[in-house]
């Protein structure tokens, strides 16, 4: 799961996705996400924020950069990666996720979307996030909503 921001200071925005999700029959506000592929593990460890990352963290960062480009057309630089043992629903599955938080650059493009993907990229200010959260009809990703709540109450993170 990629949590991305663009801009600096008062011009900072959070990058979200607005994607049709067949299982819920509507659009969901979320973030770029995808699967860590075998090729993401096939590289040597990378130096990240001054430390050498373990293989899963390295693979998660590589997957985040790749998926972000595919889904938004933009470039992504990881700043922080979560532990690899965050479970999406431990009572039902052993699926785990990594959250990769960072900064984006560039302009949006749908050029790299797969044929079946229906994804719009949103870049929202704090005021726009507050307004979005007030709408009852919106479906939110469980990974994104806590970040939106934090931004609503405390503002954007400092990089």
**Mean pLDDT of the region 24-38:** 93
Compute CA 112 distance to the chain's CA centroid, rounded to the nearest angstrom: 16
Residue 142 has pLDDT above 60, yes or no: yes
Between 96-100, 125-129, 145-149, the lowest mean confidence (pLDDT) is in 96-100
DSSP class of residue 35 equals: P
Specify the residue for token string 């990666």. 81
Please tell me the distance from the alpha carbon of residue 61 to that of residue 121, in angstroms, as a whole number: 20
Compute CA 101 distance to the chain's CA centroid, rounded to the nearest angstrom: 7
Minimal CA–CA distance to 27: which of 19, 38, 35, 36? 19
Residue 27 is predicted with a pLDDT of 96
For residue 126, the tally of other CB atoms under 10 A from its CB is 17
Q: Which DSSP string do the residues of 12-23 spell out, in sequence order?
A: -EEEEEEEEEGG
| Chain segment 47-86, per-residue pLDDT in tens | 555 555 567 888 899 999 999 999 999 999 999 999 888 8
Compute CA 154 distance to the chain's CA centroid, rounded to the nearest angstrom: 19
**What three-state secondary structure class fits 141?**
coil
| Chain segment 34-50, per-residue pLDDT in tens | 988 888 877 655 555 55
Contact 4, 31 (CB under 8 A): yes
Compute CA 19 distance to the chain's CA centroid, rounded to the nearest angstrom: 13
Q: What is the pTM of this model?
A: 0.88
pLDDT band per the 50, 70, 90 thresholds, residue 96: confident
DSSP class of residue 88 equals: S
């Amino acid at each position: 799961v990629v949590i991305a921001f663009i801009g600096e200071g008062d011009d900072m925005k959070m990058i979200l996705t607005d994607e049709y999700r067949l299982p819920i029959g509507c659009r969901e506000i979320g973030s770029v996400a995808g699967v860590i592929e075998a090729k993401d593990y096939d590289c040597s460890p990378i130096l990240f924020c001054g430390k050498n990352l373990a293989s899963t963290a390295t693979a998660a960062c590589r997957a985040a950069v790749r998926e972000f480009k595919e889904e938004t057309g933009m470039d992504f630089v990881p700043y922080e990666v979560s532990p690899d043992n965050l479970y999406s629903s431990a009572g039902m599955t052993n699926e785990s996720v990594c959250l990769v938080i960072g900064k984006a650059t560039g302009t949006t493009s749908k050029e790299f979307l797969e044929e079946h993907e229906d994804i719009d990229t949103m870049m929202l200010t704090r005021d726009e996030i507050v307004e979005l959260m007030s709408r009852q009809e919106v479906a939110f990703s469980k990974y994104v909503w806590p970040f939106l709540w934090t931004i609503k109450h405390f503002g954007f993170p400092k990089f």
